[in-house]
Amino acid sequence: MKKNTYFISDIHLGAPSVEESQARERRLVGFLNHIAPDCERLFIVGDLFDYWFEYKHVVPRGHTRLLGQLAQMVDAGMALEIFVGNHDLWMGDYLSEELGAVIHHGPLVWEAPGTSTRMYIAHGDGLGPGDRKYKALKKLFTNPLAIWAYKRLHPNFGVGFAAKMSRTSRNSQGPEDHAFKGDQERQLLHSKAVLEKEWFDYFIYGHRHHDIELVLGTQAGEDGTKFESKYVVLGDWITLDTYAKWDGEKLTLTSYTPA
């Protein structure tokens, strides 16, 4: 009986080369095959692709192994929810139509079925204080008029140019950029601000490419039971191969090792 919910993020398919992307894709498909028997719901929390832009009749080539595996799992009854990330902002209705996926363009408040557990789920880009340059660029890039204008470009140029820019942006960052920065983490500051107004048992993010789990706060129930609010960053599938699993009672963050 399927009962578990899984969370993954930051796969960045398509980069840095076809060969390396396909190797990463095969690892991910192996993981999906592993969890398929008990996976009731899968959250892909942003940056599934290193670049993605949908024209009316054209989408980026490749990724057939993953898309086929996801389609098979959805056909078998799995619920699939995909968040857009800062590298695949321009998702339209293709994955909804082809895979039956629910696409999220912002944070999601999710109440785990059959429980009182509340989760705040988001890719994480643009949240928290500061980072005004990126927030302005994101607002521009997601403007309907700007998207319409970009679609006027031929896909051979539009897809190739934007994919190159995405690789340049990612390659400009080193391991130190993804290191946990403590109280300077914008996602962490955002979570603390949200928690002051509303209780969540878990804050779950991608984007930062490190895996970490912290306790943000506690509260007591009517019977004195202690509850913790946890901050979770999912890591990535470039160097970590990490994922989180919700079994109906607790969330576990771990890494995948092929059998």
Amino acid at 211: D
Domain edges within the chain? 4-255
pLDDT exceeds 70 at position 171? no
pLDDT exceeds 60 at position 1? no
CATH-assigned architecture of domain 4-255: 4-Layer Sandwich (3.60)
Residue 168: its pLDDT value, please? 66
pTM, full prediction: 0.91
pLDDT exceeds 80 at position 158? no
Across the chain, mean pLDDT equals 90
Question: The dihedral of CA 127, 128, 131, 133: what is its sign?
Answer: positive
Lookup: tokens for 9: 């993020």
Q: Determine the Cα–Cα distance for residues 44 and 258; give it in Å rounded to an integer.
A: 20
For the chain, the maximum distance between any two Cα atoms, rounded to a whole number of angstroms, is 63
Residue 248: its pLDDT value, please? 93
Q: Determine the Cα–Cα distance for residues 205 and 220; give it in Å rounded to an integer.
A: 25
- Taking the mean position of all CA atoms in its chain, how far away is CA 209? 11
Of 34-38, 67-71, 178-182, 228-232, the one with minimum mean pLDDT is 178-182
Q: Region 60-68: what's the mean pLDDT?
A: 91
Residue 176: its pLDDT value, please? 75
Residue at token pair 């946890």:
230
Angle at CA 170, nearest 5°, toward 151 and 165?
30
